[in-house]
Amino acid sequence: MPKYTEWYEGCLDEFYEGKSGYLYTLEEHESIAPLKGIKYAFHSKENVRVRSVEYIENVYRKLLEYEEKGELIIVQFKDIPDRMREKNHKWLTEVLNLEEVFSSTEEYPMFLKARFPEAWQEVCNNRINKTE
């Protein structure tokens, strides 16, 4: 079952409230394969016929509806166990410490720096301590 984990307070709302989109259902095809590194995502090197399309006016509300029907698990930030938060924090500090991420002004690194200030501060402090 798909699971959405909210890695900071208000993440689900920030990304999906008021946003619209389309949900495509495809015909089965032998070329469809899981996309490496992204759960529940797939790709195909060949064209695949679309069986149906659903317009979703408010993705946030639709996700809550899926959760209510038992078709999706939403783990809110407040419910994430400490061990999972620590694991995520460790991963974030490793990513933020990479020179190409640390020095970048691109959108994704800036997003990580803004949304995970504790990890970002730890990386900055570690870099200062290494130079001393």
Chain segment 43-84, per-residue pLDDT in tens: 999 999 999 999 999 999 999 999 999 999 999 999 999 999
Q: Domain extents for the chain?
A: 3-78, 82-131
Among candidate residues 49, 57, 74, the one with its CA nearest the CA of residue 23: 57
Q: Angle of helix 107-115 relative to helix 82-97, nearest 10 degrees?
A: 140
Whether the full predicted model's pTM is greater than 0.75, yes or no, is no
